[in-house]
Structure 1
Amino acid sequence: MPESLSEKLYGCVKIPSCLNSRIRQHYITILKDLLTVEYTGKSRYCDSGSVQSDTCAPTNCPLYYYEVEILKCDNQPKIVVGFSYNNFHLNRHPGSEPNSLGYKSEDGYCMNGTSKSDNYGPSYGKGDVIGCGINYLKQNYFFTKNGSFLGNAGNLFHIDNYPTVGLNSYGESVKFNFNGPFKFNIEEYFKKILSTEREEINATPVSKDITNGIVKYYLLHRGYSRTLKAFKNEANKGDMNVDYLNGEKKENFIDKLYISNEVINKMESTLDKRSEIIDNILKGDITKALKALSDEFPHIQKNSMAYIMLVTQNFIEMLRSGSDIQKSLRWLQDYSKKLMPNGPEELENFFENDKVKQVFQESCGLLAYEDLEASPLKDNLLNKRRMETAIVVNDTILNKDSADLSSLKIIIQYLVLGRKLLKEINGNTGPLYSTHDLCSPLMKFQN
């Protein structure tokens, strides 16, 4: 299995890698590779014998899959491939006890721990490769034969699922494949289940009024006044009413997102000033941004993160433009003193903050390199650093309470919470979603 796919599926969680050779029936032999197993009991034996993997299938992932190659068997094999739980009776086949599952070679039936077997797929024998997997998104099991998908094999048991194979006749031999490459195109199946889930989500109708309101409120929150104006003009060309920031619809929109009138009024009243400051930062004109912040928002403390980011950003801009290093350092020293009017004692406390220390170290660290573009700190020269500064300044103006109330951020937080609750309902199985995963385009899985 390609490493990138393995990491995406399982992350750093331990997955089955070999067979458990410590617990088995005496007539079952596990070879030195810990992947190949043989039924070595004499011909008079007719007892079942199963083997399990060394650890259970991971659960914090979209799916899990392994394959088994049938190396040797007679014309009427009684091999069973599937999953079983810890402490499963290994003198039984998987699927013969509750909370276990097994796909039978002799007739293609699927056993799920009940007295009844279901007609599932084709029979199989020597030379065939049988795959067995768990789809955590759909909460079911599935099997494959020689690379072909055979369909849903029943609902998932919320237990520790151990890959398991049962043998029954002398000479039967199989080999496990836990890591790939596989006969079945597991990568395509992975893409398919993610794509199917995304299609199901996209098929859910959502009012354009609501989505436009979210976009407009996000732009208002970030202070992107020109983009907000252009968006309003473009949206109003259609036949839908998108004015979610005015009148009664504004009240409803705010109530749905638990945002007070006071917060949104502050965003509206400061929009033009915030937009001007942000524009200057993104253009690299930091001195104008510093003056505007001081003049328009005098209540913001000079030792706040907003000023720290601006001061260090201006120092970076001076280095980028080729200014004299001594001149740049003098400016940084002089302005830094304004951030700490109480002198050395405040300076000492100031640099106890890890974030402050990191910002100054990365900014001043550029002085150690003759070629700034080739230095390990070159990311500080990118527009991304300007954007980070703009976000910090904008959030400081709005203060922490309202800075955390971006409509888009709230929705993503609810989405992550919903995913976590769904995971709990599903027996704590399935992927651990993060905001990064939820905001990533599906195309990343198709490369």
Structure 2
Amino acid sequence: MPDGRFARPWSGVDTDMHLNTAWRPTASPDSLPAYSRKYASYLRQTDFSHGLGSMATDNPSFFTPSYLRNSRYMSRLDAAHRAKLAALQRETASTSSNPPLSASSSHVHLPRMVPSHRGMAYEIIEKEPAATTDQTMPLPTQWSSSDKYPGLEISNNGLDVRYTGPVNKHDHEAAALRADHPMPPQCGIYYFEVKIESKPKEGMIGIGFSSTKASVERLPGWEQESWAYHGDDGKSFFGESQGQGRPYGPTFGVGDTVGCGVNFSTGSAFFTKNGVFLGNVFHELRNVKLFPSVGMKKQPPVHLRANFGQEPFVFDIDGLVRQEKASIHSEISATSTASLQPPLDESALLQELVAQFLAHDGYVETSRAFAEEVATETAALHNGRDEPLKKYEVEEDREAINRNKIRSAILDGDIDKALKHTKAYYANVLEDYPHIHFKLRCRKFLEMMRRSNELAAATAAVAASSSKRHRAATGHDISDEHAVFDQEMELDDASDGWDAADGMDTEEQEPETATQFNELLTEAVQYGQQLHMDYPSDENGGDKKMLDDIFSLVAYADPKRSVHGHYLDPAGRVAVAEELNSAILVSLGKSSAAALERLYQQTEVLVNEISEDGGAGAFINVRNDFLL
């Protein structure tokens, strides 16, 4: 090819592979199965060229206010957003007009794989997660175009609101509107700001929040279930006060930026003016969906601009949230763990958890080294005490050694070796868990495709270097002589196919490498054909959609850059290694999860439970705050 890239020497594959199904992207790498939770960060950091990309660029309406970065709430919201994008991507891919892969455009006829090779394979394909019940409330993003007084005009992506209508001199009549979503209690503290761009001298403006029960024809604070800070007199108003405000802060007008926040942990609100905190106001704000709201007396021209977190705030809300978070963390640190596992103190309990985790996952050597270090530490801390600290010892576990051999083989990409060990040590596991056997076989196919792709990339680099030397020697570009690539050439015509793929003369090639590439690719396709025959449906642990996805890799000149290229990433080995390890442990009558992992799971559940209504859990992100 003119650019020197390595191309595959056909445009179709054997009909027996049945790849006429539309190619659909799989679930987000952030949607990890239960067995790979502790490797979530490893998988999540993988950045695929076809992936979802930056949140800010994929969907302009999705943003992260600075004070919510690294929060539990934003982690959940981000995951939900990615899942939504993945669903849209799947829908788009399924309705696209991709040409089917069939033998009609190819002369490829590959022999069947001999039975002795069947069953020696794997894969780490993560299934799409089941529909989640996590209904994380979205952030307010703009003023609502429907929940507003009809005479108000919204512009600037829903952030600016104007009143330019007729003057109405009745003080009790006004124009108000609310944001598109209520403030989410799960974020702990919610905050937004409004800048007064223009208003007449006698204009009245109220900034605060309200439920949908409050009328949009009166200022917030003058209606039931509405609360606000008014600029003309600096008073705070709430519905039950019957229009009688209470002194609160200074007045505000044109050029001022007023902030409004709700601390759901304490059930109170606060306001700011031009970056200055004005104090807490209103209390018992619970069990009501509160929408950011503004209102203005109908005296034009009035122009207000909101900031829901798309831009930096005038007030240091980040600092306020850090203080609240630090207070919660201080309480956690002060809590004693002595009653959790008597007579172990906190240090000894942590040592037990770590050691058991290492042994559970098969890291016997690491567990032994850890035990020796603990013993050395306890001896150093004895310091003449009557009773020395407990000497920690680890009992060598033969099963753990065997499981570690299997895990290491999978993580190295040697699936045949992993299967051999599994059948030797735990003969019934693959029979009892056919879906794991299927994943291992798929992983083998992917490893074969990986090796083929890596060889193609290396060869392309060599070809490019050779072409450069040729141009330097002859003074012209030989790629012009090979601009046309024959899509119909035979697979076994290795020499001609290599020339067409690279756009290089035979004299410039490495015949041995070309032959090796074709052998690897032929072997992968043969294995894929056999895999498709063994799993024609979703029965016996199979997943037909998954097979369609991974088989589509054969059709691409550069599989890694294809819509399913992420399957080739070595990180995919981790999840299947974890699932097989868990299955082996269950077969031995042991827990499929280490005590440390169960503790983490339980903590996540509890924190989630106490964060739903904006409690202290909203300020805790177990993963980011304590594990990373």
| Per-residue deviation, 1:423 | 3.9
Question: Which residue pairs with 1:392 in the alignment?
Answer: 579
Is 1:218 matched up with 2:357? Answer: yes
Out of 61-70 and 351-360, give the one that drifted further: 351-360
Q: CA RMSD, aligned part only?
A: 4.5
Aligned residues: 406
Mark the CA change 1:182 to 1:158 in structure 2 (over 3 Å): closer, same or farther.
Answer: farther
Does the CA contact (< 8 Å) of 1:195 and 1:442 recur in 2? Answer: no
Aligned to 1:173: 302
In structure 2, which of residues 367, 373, 383 is the aligned counterpart of residue 234 of structure 1? 373
Aligned mate of 1:53, from 178, 184, 197? 178
| 1:418 paired to 2:606 | yes
SS in 2 for 1:4: coil
Give CA deviations for 1:277-319 in whole Å, capped at 9, x if unaligned.
2122223333332222111112223472343333343444444
Separation in structure 2 between the aligned mates of residue 320 and residue 95 of structure 1, nearest angstrom:
64
> Offset at 1:5?
1.6
What residue is the counterpart of 1:257 in the other structure? none
Q: Rate the CA distance shift 1:318–1:23 in 2: closer, same or farther, 3 A.
A: closer
Say which SS state the counterpart of residue 237 (structure 1) adopts: helix
Is the aligned partner of 1:146 residue 2:274?
yes
Partner of 2:130: none
Are the counterparts in 2 of residues 72 and 126 from structure 1 also a CA contact under 8 Å? Answer: yes
Change (3 A) 1:403 1:316: farther
The whole-number CA distance in structure 2 between the counterparts of 1:244 and 1:120 is 61
TM superposition shift of 1:274:
0.7
Residue type of the alignment partner of 1:82: G
**Aligned equivalents of 2:152 and 2:580: distance in 1?**
64
Structure 2: distance between partners of 1:425 and 1:126: 36
Task: Quote the Cα distance in structure 1 between the aligned partners of 2:546 and 2:300.
Answer: 68
Match for 1:74 among 201, 209, 233? Answer: 201
1:222-242 CA-partner distances (Å, limit 9, x unpaired): 222233223333334334868
The 8 Å contact of residues 59 and 431 in structure 1, kept in 2 or not, is answered as no
Aligned mates of 1:281, 1:19 — CA distance in 2: 52
Q: TM-score, normalised by structure 1?
A: 0.71
Question: How far, CA to CA, are the matches of 1:221 and 1:410 in structure 2?
Answer: 12
The one-letter code sitting in structure 1 at the alignment partner of 2:576 is T
Cα offsets for 1:398-429 (capped at 9, x unmatched): 128855433233223323322343245559x9
Match of 1:197 in 2: 325
Of 399, 409, 412 in structure 2, the residue corresponding to residue 283 of structure 1 is 412
The answer to whether the 8 A contact 1:51-1:165 is kept is: yes
Distance 1:175 1:185 in 2: 16
Distance 1:22 1:297 in 2: 63
2:426 is the counterpart of 1:297: yes
Would the aligned equivalents of 1:41 and 1:170 in 2 still touch at CA under 8 Å? yes
Q: What residue in structure 1 maps to residue 95 of structure 2? A: none
Q: Secondary structure at the match of 1:158?
A: coil
Give the aligned partner of residue 152 of structure 2: 30
CA shift, 1:269, in A, is: 5.4
d(CA) in 2 for partners of 1:329 and 1:42?
77
Q: Which residue of 1 aligns with 2:439?
A: 309
Deviation per CA, 1:122-152, whole angstroms, max 9, x where unpaired?
Answer: 3212321212233445543232222444343
State the Cα deviation string for residues 135-182 of structure 1 (Å, max 9, x = none): 445543232222444343343343122333344585573424255655
> Structure 2 matches for 1:227-266, cutoff 5 A?
227-239=366-378
Give the aligned residue type for 2:199.
K
Secondary structure in 1 matching 2:208: strand
| Alpha-carbon contact 2:434-2:540 (below 8 Å) kept | no
Please tell me whether the aligned partners of residues 66 and 177 of structure 1 are also in contact (alpha carbons under 8 angstroms). Answer: yes
Q: Matched residue of 2:439: which SS?
A: helix
Contact preservation (8 Å) 2:208, 2:293? yes
Once residues 308 and 41 of structure 1 are traced to their aligned partners in structure 2, the CA distance between those partners, rounded to angstroms, is: 73
The 1:17–1:319 alpha-carbon spacing in structure 2 relative to 1, beyond 3 Å, is: closer
Counterpart for residue 103 of structure 1: 229
Mapped partners of 2:556, 2:297: distance in 1: 70
Deviation of 1:273 after TM superposition, in Å, equals 1.0
Give the structure 1 partner of residue 555 of structure 2.
Answer: 368
Alignment-derived partner of residue 64 in structure 2: 5
- 1: distance between equivalents of 2:161 and 2:217? 19
Distance 1:101 1:347, change over 3 A: closer
Change (3 A) 1:396 1:426: same
Separation of aligned partners in 2, 1:316 and 1:422? 43
Aligned mates of 1:374, 1:367 — CA distance in 2: 12
1:86 maps onto 2:212 in alignment? yes
In 2, Cα distance between the equivalents of 1:37 and 1:208? 64
Q: Percentage identity across aligned positions?
A: 23
Work out whether residues 282 and 386 of structure 1, in 8 Å CA contact, stay in contact via their aligned partners in 2. yes
Q: CA offset at residue 110 of structure 1?
A: 2.8
CA distance in 2, matches of 1:147, 1:139: 22
In structure 2, C-alpha distance between the alignment counterparts of 1:432 and 1:311, rounded to whole Å: 43
* SS at structure 2 position matched to 1:238: helix
Partner-residue secondary structure (3-state), 1:36: strand
Using the alignment, how far apart are the partners of 2:168 and 2:443 within structure 1?
A: 79
Residue 593 (structure 2) aligned to one of 402, 405, 412:
405
Corresponding letter in the other structure for 1:69: K
Distance 2:272 2:448 in 1: 62
Tell me if the contact between 1:60 and 1:432 (Cα under 8 Å) persists in the aligned partners.
no
Q: Name the stretch that deviates more: 8-17 or 53-62.
A: 8-17
Gaps of 5+ in 1: 247-264, 338-343
Using the alignment, how far apart are the partners of 2:147 and 2:267 within structure 1?
A: 31
Amino acid paired to 1:84? S
- Other structure's SS at 1:289 match: helix
Q: How far does residue 271 in structure 1 lie from its aligned partner after superposition?
A: 0.9
**1:395 to 1:348, Cα distance in 2 relative to 1, 3 A:** same
Equivalent residue, structure 1, for 2:26: none
Of 28-37 and 283-292, more deviation after overlay is shown by 28-37
Q: Is the 8 A contact 2:607 2:617 kept in 1?
A: no
1:19/1:53 contact within 8 Å kept: yes
CA separation in 2, counterparts of 1:56 and 1:130?
20
Matched AA of 2:580: V
Cα distance change on mapping 1:91 and 1:405 into 2, 3 Å? same
CA contact (8 A) 2:182 2:289 kept: yes
Q: Helix, strand or coil for the counterpart of 1:416?
A: helix
